[in-house]
Amino acid sequence: MDEDGGRRFDVWAPECTRVDLRIGGHDRAMRPGAGGWWHLRVPGARPGDDYAFVLDGSGEPLPDPRSLRQPRGVHGPSRVYDHADFAWTDTDWRGRALPGCVVYELHIGTFTPEGTFDAAIGRLDHLTGLGADLVQLMPVNAFGGAGHGWGYDGVLWGAVHEPYGGPDGLKRFVDACHRRGLGVLLDVVYNHLGPDGAYLPRFGPYFTGDTAWGPSLNLDGPGSDEVRRYVVDNALGWLRGFHLDGLRLDAVHALHDSRARPLLAELSAEADALAAGLGRPLALIAESDRNDPATVTSRDAGGYGLTAQWCDDIHHALHTALTGEGHGYYADFTAPDALPSALARAFFHDGGYSAFRGRSHGAPVDTARIPGHRFLAYLQNHDQIGNRAAGDRMAATVPRGLLACGAALVLCSPYTPMVFMGEEWAASTPWPFFASFTDPGLAEGVRAGRRREFASHGWDGSGVPDPLDPRTRERAVLCWDERESPPHREILETYRALVALRRARPELADPRLDRFRVDAEPDGRVLVLHRGRLRVACNLRAEAAEIGLDPPAGRVLLCSAAAEADGARLRLPAESFAVVETAEPPGEPASRAARHARRG
């Protein structure tokens, strides 16, 4: 805003011969500038004023591609919004570095019945009680429809979905999280544009070609300099203006970029520079299907320099071992060594053959150089539940004992553990795909597209909930009351105990993969994770198992059933886990305190 209360409006529209700004009921001609930019200073314009752009005299008002607020949805005018008008209380917040953290993924629209930021604030104490460190929000940018949706069909990347509470609602949520010691990550989608309200291509060459979900971002063709700057500015705007602690970058493998300096490396450099200026860490976490260690390798070592990436191989191996499913992409993970291998090296597909893809896939992780915290491990997430035909959670079919084993393998691993909302109490509510598009043709296209996607993965598409039926979203809302009744209460206690033990024993959060070992029986159903002096033993069999320990067991720190430790033997009941502290090797003191006492 100018000193006299005016404001300058700018828009990139390089292929237009005329651009007008519609504000206060009048169209005003904008002046062309360098590089395809158009500018106009409007005296007296202030926050709360609605405006839009009219291209080439069409008479049709279009929202600002860099809009910060869309009070009337993605088809309505933009509204002038000033970040300086919000009164933050988090001036002492110094951020959360990713190593050692537990991430909690949630969707604002189904976390509470109200589906708003303010309602979600009322449940934050549950997250601190669980022991979470970082909240990862599914996308909250503006998307088509007046109701709820997953958020991956966003079309205005800088505006906050108004039904959730708009930009101030998001800021209140972030501020409340910071007061409780929780950092906040936001899921952002740069790989495609949603189908409803996709006006961006009318302004310039933002897209070229297609992805599986929509038009592909123009990152290396003519005009791509400004497109890349648009993405970088948007990412920095979320981090700076909303005090976010990081971003989760959706499906970066769909970013087609042939430049010598990839967009991901450019993003990580800009985020590092901003973090230095803010004096707090900022994380960029990728979702990538490439299994390419370069994603999380530092820029000075030739990588992209992202903080971390989601690790689907660990999820797929866990899911297959716990559910017995082997269709679709799970077929690659039915071998007995899939789970121990994925746990040991992050990528199960690290250059070998993938039957699902019909080709070799991935590259090996250098476990001596890349720490485990750079990979997020999870038992469930929004994709792996919501992309099932019925949106059924693992708790719908997997026994409680195996759920506990899965939680132990994730929370006691050297990777960054992530929990999907409600998983920690084995929520009974499904979480299927849902949207709120109002155009009948678009709605039917979404229904048909979901059926095709299920068929391509070998799933039966019959009985799929209608994603456009409001009741589909309503059934996905968490039922918070069930936390207090069995068996949900017992599962929640297990999660809390595992996170607390991870806090109390640093070796459980140690990210060094070169100090991590996984032993497994030939059938892959009995596993032991080596975590310093601790052993995390899991028996996935339907009968009891005996496990040899070397050094012998000292004591059982935590177990999901009555484990018996007798020297070098540990007896685990069926479908159970135990965390055991082994005896100190002869001649070594039991603790740092003992060493200090002996020196004295």
Check whether 253 is labelled as a binding-site residue.
yes
Check whether 491 is labelled as a binding-site residue.
no
Helix axes 263-278, 224-241, angle to 10 degrees: 30
Check whether 387 is labelled as a binding-site residue.
yes
Check whether 383 is labelled as a binding-site residue.
yes
Length of the chain counted residue by residue: 600
Check whether 380 is labelled as a binding-site residue.
no
Place of tokens 């904008």: 30
Check whether 523 is labelled as a binding-site residue.
no
Residue-wise burial string across 557-580, b where 16 or more C-beta atoms lie within 10 A, e elsewhere: bbbbeebebeeeebebbebbbbbb
Check whether 125 is labelled as a binding-site residue.
no
* Three-state SS at 34: helix
Check whether 248 is labelled as a binding-site residue.
yes
Check whether 252 is labelled as a binding-site residue.
yes
Check whether 384 is labelled as a binding-site residue.
yes
Check whether 568 is labelled as a binding-site residue.
no
Closest CA to 130 of 405, 503, 385: 503
Check whether 250 is labelled as a binding-site residue.
yes
Residue-wise burial string across 432-452, b where 16 or more C-beta atoms lie within 10 A, e elsewhere: bbbbbbeeeebbeebeeebee
145 Cβ contact partners less than 8 Å away, ≥ 6 residues apart = 73, 196, 435, 436, 437, 438
Looking at the annotation, which residues are catalytic? 250, 287
Residue 233 phi/psi, 5-degree rounding, is: -60, -40
Check whether 349 is labelled as a binding-site residue.
no
Closest CA to 405 of 546, 513, 561, 509: 561
Closest CA to 39 of 93, 2, 92: 2
Residue-wise burial string across 264-281, b where 16 or more C-beta atoms lie within 10 A, e elsewhere: bbbbbebbbeebeeeebb
Structure tokens at 150: 């997953």
Check whether 27 is labelled as a binding-site residue.
no
Residues 294 and 302 sit within 8 Å (Cβ to Cβ): yes
Other residues' Cβ atoms within 10 Å of the Cβ of residue 39 = 15
Going by the DSSP 8-state scheme, the letter that residue 138 receives in this structure is P
Check whether 196 is labelled as a binding-site residue.
no
Binding residues, by number, are: 248-253, 312-316, 382-387
Binding residues for substrate, by number, are: 248-253, 312-316, 382-387
